[in-house]
Amino acid sequence: MAHGSLVEDERRPDGTIERALTIFLAGAECPFTCSFCDLWRWTIDGPTPRGALPKQIARVLESVERPMPHRLKLYNASNFFDHRAVPADDVPAIAALAQAFTGVTVESHANTIGDLTLEFARAIKGRLEVAIGLETVHPEAVGHLNKRLDLARFDRAARFLTDNDIDLRVFVLLGVPYVPTSASVEWAVRSAEHAAERGASVVSIIPVRAGNGEMERLQAQGDFAPPTLAQLETALDQCIEGRRGGASTVVTADLWDIERLPACARCRDDRVARMRRLNATGRKEPPILCLACGAR
């Protein structure tokens, strides 16, 4: 059974608002074991059983209120183009289930992008978008993430997708371990700009969250500080105000578990509401002034 699903509105690069269905699939754990990641909590021991993913998708689709959303996002907490996570025999069935959607998004490590990506893009009726974690372009911090990804490899994967008319969605991190707190926003913005310059349609800024054990260890030794709500808001503001690189790239703040980020109790709700509006419109707004914390 899938872990869950949600339907939400998303802004696309052409300015339209698209209804998207996200299904959180249960399958094999990612082999890359990035230090910041806690998605292993949503995976199973061993390879994904054959037939499990199509059953999970079909069950969710049966329950979705009509009309069907425009986009289907299949997030399996691993790599869609790894046959241990998504059995090859299941790909045709998954493609068939996706035929009703104009856009399909899957997630996969840059190292898995290749011929399997092209095969799936040809098998679906809608347009394929692949979500890749860039995380950071900080030259020192990237080596500590255990992601086994350098900037050149990310760039090759991005070029492969754009050359083959496949959309690119990118995840970048705010609060990367080994990046000084004072420079955290700057490097999140620089990472988002790099993704935009490489043709990303959508960039999502994700605050690093403690809770996987490793982040607590790094915090104890002074190499990680949980990012704040104010930092996330500032990073989003700077991306919208700068709009360098790909001017049409949609940059959003990831608001999943947003209540976990440290923030002023008096202005928290107003700031979250403001970021939701910025995510939806991409237009600059006046800052929120708070007498309690002095933030703006």
Mean pLDDT (whole number) for 44-53: 95
Percentage of the chain modeled with pLDDT above 70: 97
What's the average model confidence in pLDDT over 194-209?
96
Q: Is residue 106's pLDDT more than 90?
A: yes
Mean pLDDT of 2-10: 94
pLDDT the model gives residue 40:
64
| Average pLDDT across the chain, whole number | 93
Share in percent of the chain as helix, strand, coil (round to 5) = 35, 20, 45
Domain 4-281 has CATH 3.20.20.70: yes
Q: Average pLDDT, stretch 44-70?
A: 95
Mean pLDDT to the nearest integer, 104-122: 97
C-alpha to C-alpha distance for 87 and 47, rounded to whole angstroms:
8
User: Is 136:100 a contact under the CB 8 Å cutoff?
Assistant: no
DSSP element (H, E) containing 18:
strand 17-24
Confidence class for position 296, pLDDT limits 50, 70, 90: low
Contact status, residue 87 vs residue 46, Cβ threshold 8 Å: no
User: What's the mean pLDDT in 76-96?
Assistant: 97
Which residues have CB under 8 Å from 35's CB, separation 6+?
144, 145, 146, 177, 214, 215, 218
Sequence-distant (6+) residues with CB within 8 A of 182 are none
On the question of pLDDT at 250 being above 70, the answer is yes
Closest CA to 234 of 184, 280, 195: 184
Better-predicted residue by pLDDT, 271 or 148 = 271
Q: What is the pLDDT of residue 1?
A: 87
pLDDT at 245 over 60: no
The domains of the chain are located at: 4-281
Work out the average pLDDT over 160-164. Answer: 98
HEC assignment per residue over 33-74: CCCCCCHHHHCECCCCCCCHHHHHHHHHHHHCCCCCCCEEEE
Using the predicted structure, report yes or no on whether residue 226 has a pLDDT greater than 90.
yes
**Mean pLDDT, residues 159-177:** 97
Which carries the bigger pLDDT value, residue 218 or residue 51?
51
Q: In this model, does residue 182 exceed pLDDT 80? A: yes
- Bridge partners of 74? 23, 106
For residue 273, what pLDDT is reported? 98
pLDDT-derived band at 94, boundaries 50, 70, 90: very high
* pLDDT, average across residues 122-146: 95
pLDDT at 246 over 70: no
Q: Hey, what's the torsion of the CAs at 24, 158, 20, 261, to 10 degrees?
A: 60
* Residue 62 CB neighbour total at 10 angstroms: 7
Helices 229-242, 184-197: crossing angle, 10 deg rounding = 40
- What's 84's DSSP letter? T
Tell me the average pLDDT across 73-99. Answer: 97
The string of DSSP letters for 191-242 reads HHHHHHHTT-SEEEEEE----SSHHHHHHHTTS--PPPHHHHHHHHHHHHHH
CA distances from 171 to 18, 72, 108, 292 (A): 19, 18, 11, 32
212 contacts: CB under 8 Å, gap ≥ 6: 36, 37, 38, 40, 41
